[in-house]
Every structure is written in structure tokens, then in C-alpha cells.
Amino acid sequence: MRPPVPTPRLRQLEAEAIAILREAIAEFARPVLLYSVGKDSSVLLHLARKAFYPGRPPLSLLHIDTGWKFREMLAFRDRVAARTALDLIVHINRDGLARGISPIASGADLHTQVMKTEALRQALQQGGFDAAIGGARRDEEKSRAKERIFSLRSAGHGWDPRRQRPELWRIFNTRLGPDETMRVFPLSNWTELDVWHYIRAEGIEVVPLYFAKARPVVDRNGALIVVDDDRLPLRTGETPRLTKVRFRTLGCYPLTGAVRSDADTLDAIIDEVRDAILSERQGRLIDAGDDSALEMKKREGYF
């Protein structure tokens, strides 16, 4: 196993991401960092600290809480916010809560639409943010592969994939028309493996859910759902069984499948990711179904 030092590859990706973060700060009046608590967000936050060192990142963190995040994620989020001393805005769609929207009662599609997509739009609107910086990568999904690093959103936060601005060299067109906003993706060119190599090289803390551990699990149509608390109603015949699993990607807990794994160290995770035969987003139940599922959500303003 290689020693944990930043390789030339990681240094190049790091420098590129730092330049993108600085450009966003230089060009926008009110940018915000979308902090989802996942590994990519952890890397993004680490990069933001480096980009503006020795100063603090001139950014607030915005977390869209759907009400269904793992308890470990919320605890981790609050700890990170306290340690970095950055302003943390937690937004939850109160209207959706009042309507009783939940992944259990309403189904994955409606829950995602109301508690994530609409919630994000509300939060950006209320905060008056003109740019939202997020940790999405092009290697996650094929519609993301075509997204720009500085990606324009219409007045209604929609994404029009056919009207994207050409993006040449490292020159970014950051101009906004009335009520338009920008999404900015500093990790566009990173892969899942790069993210883990960087986490190891830089000693970045991530949510323990990424490490394999025996957890109570039910198997639903092939997806391993971890029973985080008693909010998940068990179906008849379902008994949670302790299984050694970890998460490759983290979302709302009834909508994110875990994977069977023994990888309980960074080195083991890196080996596992390198040998993976399934893509990272296979655990995301919201992408399943139509082969344009994620693109359609993004057009409506989903991250």
C-alpha cells in the first residue's frame, strides 16, 4: 500500500478545485457551499479551507435536511460546523413536513421532489444565494458527465442541458441574468477512487457509515436498508438482521442501500472501490427506473 502522501494526480485535482472555489468567491456576490455531510462534501469543505488559508472560507454551509438523514450524519454535521466555526444553515421544507411528506408514506419520487428539490430551491431563494457550490462529480452518472463546472440555472432553478454554455480551457463564464443562479462543481473531474485517495492522503474525517460494521439490515428488492431507528415501519415477515455493511453513497436512509462489505479501514475501502463491479449510485434508489431519472430531477432543480 502506498504511503499516504498527495500524489501528483491528487495535487493537480486539488489545485484545479481550489481555483474553481476561488473563482466562485471572486465572481459571485453571495455564494453558499452545499454541505450534504457525505464524503464529497467533506472533501469540498477541506478544499475550501485550503483555498482561502490562512483566512476562513468566506462561505456559509447549507444543509438540506429531509428529516430522514441518518442520526450519525446529523451528529457529524454539527460537530464539523462547530469545529470549522463556519455558519451552518439547516433548511427543511416546513410545508412538506406539514403535508406529511415522507419516503415511507409518499414514495421516493414525491419525497425527493418536495423535501430535496423544492427545499433546495426555497433555501437558495430565502438566502438570496446567487451561486451554490456542490460536490457532484462527472463520473457519478451519465447526465452529470455532460454538466459544466459552472452550470447555469434559470430563474426557476431549472437546468436546460441543451442550452449550456461551452466551457473552454479553465475560463469560466460566470455572468448571470436577472434571477438566474449558478451551480458550481469543483470536483467535476474527480472519480470515486480519487476522493478516497485524497481522504486518506489528507486525513479527512468522514461519517462512520462509510466504514463496514455489523448493522441491522432488511433486504428490500435487493436493496439493503439499514434500520436506523423505529421510524422505518417493517413489513410483514421482515426482521432486521445484523449484517456487515457499509455505504458507498449517503442519502435519506430509507432510500439508500448499503453494500455488504468488510472494508472497515481507508485502505480496505480503496481496494474495494478499485475492484468494484457495480457503480457508485447503484445504492441510490431514486435513480432507478427510467434511464433519464437523474437528468429529469436535475432539470427541475435537484442537485
Partner 1 sequence: MNRPFAPITPVATDADSLPALRIVTCGAVDDGKSTLIGRLLHEQDLIFDDQRAALVRDSASRGAAGDEPDYALLLDGLAAEREQGITIDVAYRSFATARRAFVVADAPGHAQYTRNMATAASTADLAVLLVDARKGLRPQTRRHAIIASLFGLRHIVLAVNKIDLVDFNQTVFDDIARAFGDFGRSLGFAAIHAIPLSARHGDNVSSSSLRLPWYRGPTLLDHLETVAVDDVRADRPFRLPVQWINRADADFRGAAGTVAQGRVRLGDPVAVLPSGLTATVARIVGGNGDLIEAQAGDAITLVLGDAVDVGRGDMLSATRDRPPVADQFAAHLVWLSDEPLYPGRSYLMKINHNTVPATVTELKYRIDIDTLARLAAKTLAANEIGVGNLSIARPVAFDAYADNRDTGAFILIDRASNDTVAAGMIDFALRRATNIHRHDQTVSPAARTALMGHKPAVLWFTGLPASGKSTLANRIEAALHARGVHTLLLDGDNIRHGLNKDLGFTESDRVENIRRAGEVAKLMTEAGLIVLCAFISPFAAERRMVRDLIGNTAFIEIFVDTPLAECIARDPKGLYRRAQAGEIKNFTGVDQPYEPPRQPDLHLSTAGTDVDTLTARVVAELERRGLFTTD
Question: Would you tell me which residues interact with partner 1 (CB under 8 A)?
Answer: 2, 5-9, 11-12, 14-16, 18-19, 22-23, 25-26, 47, 49-56, 138-139, 141-146, 161-162, 164-173, 175-177, 188-189, 191, 193, 197, 276-279, 282, 291-292, 295-296
| Min separation Cβ 15 and partner 1, Å | 4
Q: What are phi and psi of 130, to 5 degrees?
A: -100, -10
CA pseudo-torsion sign 14, 15, 16, 20: positive
Q: Residue 138 and residue 53: Cα distance in Å, rounded?
A: 27
Q: With respect to partner 1, which residue has the nearer C-beta, 6 or 216?
A: 6
Q: With respect to partner 1, which residue has the nearer C-beta, 242 or 288?
A: 288
Cβ neighbours for 130, distance < 8 A, ≥ 6 positions apart: 28, 29, 30, 31, 176, 181, 182
| Min separation Cβ 167 and partner 1, Å | 6
Give burial (CB, 10 Å; 0-12/13-18/19+) of 83.
exposed
Helices 39-51 + 192-202 axis angle, to 10? 60
| Min separation Cβ 134 and partner 1, Å | 17
| Min separation Cβ 237 and partner 1, Å | 27
| Min separation Cβ 90 and partner 1, Å | 27
Bridge partners of 259? 246
Bridge partners of 63? 90
Q: Residue 79 and residue 123: Cα distance in Å, rounded?
A: 22
Q: With respect to partner 1, which residue has the nearer C-beta, 98 or 278?
A: 278
| Min separation Cβ 270 and partner 1, Å | 9
CA pseudo-torsion sign 129, 62, 186, 299: negative
Assess contact for 30 and 131: CB atoms under 8 A.
Answer: yes
Q: With respect to partner 1, which residue has the nearer C-beta, 10 or 110?
A: 10
Q: With respect to partner 1, which residue has the nearer C-beta, 2 or 79?
A: 2
Q: Residue 247 and residue 37: Cα distance in Å, rounded?
A: 13
Q: With respect to partner 1, which residue has the nearer C-beta, 97 or 176?
A: 176
Q: With respect to partner 1, which residue has the nearer C-beta, 98 or 169?
A: 169
| Min separation Cβ 143 and partner 1, Å | 5
